[in-house]
Amino acid sequence: MNVLVIGNGGREHAIVQALASSPKVDKIYAMKGNAGIGEIAELVNVDYCDIKAVGDWVDAHKEIDYTVIAPDDPLALGLADELENRGHRVFGPRKNAAIIEASKAFSKELMKKYNIPTAKYETFSSYEEAKAYVEVCDIPVVLKADGLALGKGVLICKTREEALDGVKEMMLDKKFGSAGNKIVVEEFLEGPEVSALAFTDGKTIKPMITSCDHKRAKTGDEGLNTGGMGTFSPAPFYGEKTAQEVMEKIMIPTMNAMNAEGRTFKGVLYFGLMKTKDGMKVIEYNSRFGDPETQVILPMLKTDLMEIFEAVTDERLADLDIQWESGACVCVVLASGGYPEAYEKGKEITFGDLDDDVILCHAGTAMKEGKLVTSGGRVLGVCAKGSDVESARKKAYKNVEKIRFDGMYYRTDIGIKYRDIERE
């Protein structure tokens, strides 16, 4: 089969690497891809948020048998619908299901209606009303822009002053653009966090191994929220008991809720969860693979990823046994100085002698005049496997130290979080 992968980050490089090892896959195309993806796949220079242009390109390239849509934006814009309506096979939810990520107000209402455990909340479209509420609500409080904001539209406000400033930034100053026209003001929850991703074809839902993200830019969970600065898998506090609780109270009810709403979800459902003293609660849903979660999940997958994708499309996931390696995987993201705010691009990336089994997931990289250069905020994910998180972590960092570019920064504590937590 010839497969087109939509997207250009570290997640897509991990997906392309997994597909490249599938005996079913002959050739991979990537739209638009990056320098690492370009070593495996043929790069296609079409703007994937222009869904009609993507549809026209796939129509014109009869050799494409299947398209994997990885990022949130094209899913929210309806790229899966566009391609399916033209008769193409696709991995990724339709627009009416991708809304579970694209609108926080939608997902909060869904959880309330179907009794899926989550933080208490109120939704506001008027600045005055949001301000009046935040003047008296419990503190700390969490503010969330309704729409997509590259994972950055969430403010955890520890003081009332911060909360009032946050409402103004989102709703009046439009810091996150139109994503902040509507905001969700949410109860602050505490507990360890885990990304629990699952494949679903709308009839069956099968969990992947768990992982933990590090959203803040700086070591020690300081600095601004980013798309994710590193991950490790698995989460030590998520054993059989928690997995069962999440399956019964969150995963199956969410799949059923989407069916009941006439929004059958087919693809990857990503549950951002918190283990609170009152049980597991949903912090967020995503309608896709996480980035950089995928970079630690797919290297542990023993089953052919292409087979899973096709089983989801054909609604026969129940028949497939999905196998995972034991052990652990760690991914450390190397970022451009300044990210998640303004940063410079075009810095040359150099490598020392890396271990053979280290997995590099390119994110913001490009080839320029024969040299590998930076072209985004998150530049590379350096991933390593081990018998446990600690050994994977040591190996990842040993290799991180051999990579250089001007302004490069990374967190030095990926894989340390939850080390002392009670294991399950």
User: Which of ligand GLY, ligand AMP, none binds 329 (CB below 5-8 Å, type-dependent)?
Assistant: none
Neighbour count for residue 27 (Cβ, 10 Å): 15
Among 215, 263, 362, 395, binds ligand AMP (CB under 6 A): 215
Which residues within the stretch 168-227 sit at the binding site for ligand GLY (CB under 6 A)?
Answer: 213, 227
Which one of the spans 17-25, 80-88, 256-264, 288-296 is the region binding ligand GLY (CB under 6 A)?
A: 288-296
Euclidean distance between CA atoms 285 and 312, whole angstroms: 19
User: Which of ligand GLY, ligand AMP, none binds 290 (CB below 5-8 Å, type-dependent)?
Assistant: ligand GLY
**Sign of the alpha-carbon dihedral angle for 230, 233, 239, 242:** positive
CA dihedral 37, 42, 45, 48 (to 10 degrees): -70
Among 26, 174, 188, 220, binds ligand AMP (CB under 6 A): 188
Q: Which is nearer to ligand AMP, 30 or 141 (CB)?
A: 141
CA–CA distances in Å: residue 178 to residues 104, 171, 181, 194 = 13, 9, 5, 29
Among 186, 193, 291, 310, binds ligand GLY (CB under 6 A): 291
Among 189, 194, 209, 312, binds ligand AMP (CB under 6 A): 189
Residues 301, 385 contacting (CB under 8 angstroms): no
Among 92, 166, 228, 340, binds ligand GLY (CB under 6 A): 228
In sequence order, the β-bridge partners of residue 46 are: none
Closest CA to 167 of 201, 139, 138, 128: 128
Number of residues that bind ligand AMP (CB under 6 A): 16
Is residue 283 a contact point for ligand AMP (CB under 6 A)? yes
Is residue 293 a contact point for ligand GLY (CB under 6 A)? yes
Residues 15, 295 contacting (CB under 8 angstroms): no
Minimum distance of ligand AMP from residue 151's CB (angstroms): 5
Minimum distance of ligand AMP from residue 211's CB (angstroms): 13
CA geometry: angle 185, 189, 190, nearest 5 deg: 155
User: Which of ligand AMP, ligand GLY, none binds 291 (CB below 5-8 Å, type-dependent)?
Assistant: ligand GLY
Closest CA to 75 of 29, 7, 17: 7
Euclidean distance between CA atoms 298 and 291, whole angstroms: 11
Q: Which is nearer to ligand GLY, 93 or 290 (CB)?
A: 290
Q: Which is nearer to ligand AMP, 140 or 327 (CB)?
A: 140
Which residues are at the interface with ligand AMP (CB under 6 A)? 119, 142, 144, 151, 154, 156, 186-189, 193, 215, 225, 272, 283-284
